[in-house]
């Protein structure tokens, strides 16, 4: 009986993996992970570049064949030449700094008002019932309509444009923040209350970390929308500087290449804002 048991154990005994084989396996796993990450990054980069190439080629063909007049759609080479001249002369940079200043000031003012207001609306039904109708009504009125009223009340200059930017970003930031706080699972807050958390400790250690993804989404939306508020303010304010003023100048001069070059520069600026908001989210993920 013992002999039989010994033979069975010897038969079922698995060979131990050699150090060389385990090293090869770990290297294979690392290689597959690296390939997977590279594939994911390529999937994020290649499709936008391919679409941009298709659009530029379509643009070039439509203008080269003469089917579209130059004053409606200028040739790509003329637009890129105007873009290069504007970058070389500092025309775009000087006007972009004005627009960036206006948008960031309006965004920061919106953050100071929207985040506490969104939290308060989430915590108080009375305040939500009081304030939300006015927020919705304010959002329903286009910024292009509010801007002349601000000019009438506050005059021309940086201040009314900053207020307009704040109004543009306020509603989505308030609503997104309130939604993030309202959707916190009560299991966590109830458990924190049992442990004695309340007031500031509840907010700092429970509510804020759990609502952080929604707050970051609100900041991301507000940062990008702030450019829209700045441009609308420059349009109505008849500003002498800013990318909005540059668009009007190109339109009045019937300079289509400069107009399209300004639009391309605006798109790049919006991409920079989006990238900055993405970095903000990654930083928050590292901290929390």
Domains of the chain, residue spans: 28-68, 76-287
Cα separation, 108 vs 68, in Å, equals: 43
SS3 185: coil
CB 127 within 8 A of CB 121: yes
Decide which of 35 and 167 is more confident.
Answer: 167
- CA 72 to chain CA mean position, Å: 31
Map tokens 């919106």 to a residue. 110
Longest dimension (CA), the chain: 104
Distance between CA atoms of residues 133 and 175, nearest Å: 12
The pLDDT tens digits of the residues spanning 177-228 come to: 999 999 988 888 888 888 887 788 888 888 888 999 899 999 999 999 999 9
Per residue in 156-179, pLDDT (tens digit) is: 888 999 999 999 999 999 999 999
Tokens 């441009």: give the residue. Answer: 231
**Model confidence over 112-153: pLDDT tens digits?**
999 999 999 999 999 999 998 888 888 888 888 888 888 889
- pTM exceeds cut of 0.75: yes
Could you report the per-residue pLDDT of 98-120, keeping only the tens digit for each? Answer: 999 999 999 999 999 999 999 99
Q: How far are the Cα atoms of 41, 109, 180, 270 from residue 45, in angstroms, in the given order? A: 6, 34, 30, 17
In degrees, to the nearest 5, what angle opens at C-alpha 274 toward C-alphas 273 and 275? Answer: 90
Contact criterion met (CB below 8 Å) for 80 and 196: no
The CATH homologous superfamily to which domain 76-287 belongs is MetI-like (1.10.3720.10)
Q: What is the pLDDT of residue 222?
A: 92
Sign, Cα dihedral of 166, 172, 175, 178: negative
Cα-Cα-Cα-Cα dihedral of 84, 87, 92, 98, to 10°? 160
């Amino acid at each position: 009986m013992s002999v039989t048991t010994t033979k069975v154990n010897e038969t079922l005994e698995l060979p131990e993996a050699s150090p060389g084989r385990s090293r090869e396996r770990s290297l294979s796993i690392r290689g597959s992970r690296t390939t997977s990450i590279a594939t994911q990054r390529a999937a994020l980069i290649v499709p936008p570049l391919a679409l941009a190439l298709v659009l530029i080629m379509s643009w070039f063909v439509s203008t080269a064949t003469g089917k579209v007049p130059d004053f409606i759609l200028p040739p790509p080479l003329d637009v890129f030449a105007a873009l290069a001249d504007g970058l070389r002369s500092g025309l775009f940079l000087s006007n972009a700094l004005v627009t960036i200043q206006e948008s960031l000031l309006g965004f920061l003012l919106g953050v100071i008002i929207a985040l506490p207001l969104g939290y308060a609306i989430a915590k108080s039904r009375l305040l939500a019932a009081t304030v939300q109708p006015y927020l919705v009504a304010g959002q329903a009125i286009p910024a292009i309509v509010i801007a002349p009223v601000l000019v009438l009340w506050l005059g021309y200059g940086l201040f009314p444009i900053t207020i307009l930017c704040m109004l543009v970003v306020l509603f989505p930031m308030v609503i997104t923040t309130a939604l993030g706080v309202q959707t916190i699972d009560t299991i966590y807050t109830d458990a924190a209350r049992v442990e004695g958390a309340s007031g500031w400790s509840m907010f700092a250690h429970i509510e804020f970390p759990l609502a952080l993804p929604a707050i970051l989404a609100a900041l991301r939306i507000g940062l990008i929308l702030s450019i829209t508020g700045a441009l609308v303010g420059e349009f109505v304010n008849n500003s002498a500087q800013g990318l909005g003023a540059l668009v009007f100048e190109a339109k009045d001069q019937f300079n289509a290449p400069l107009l399209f070059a300004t639009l391309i520069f605006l798109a790049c600026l919006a991409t920079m804002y989006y990238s900055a908001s993405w970095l903000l989210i990654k930083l928050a993920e590292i901290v929390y």
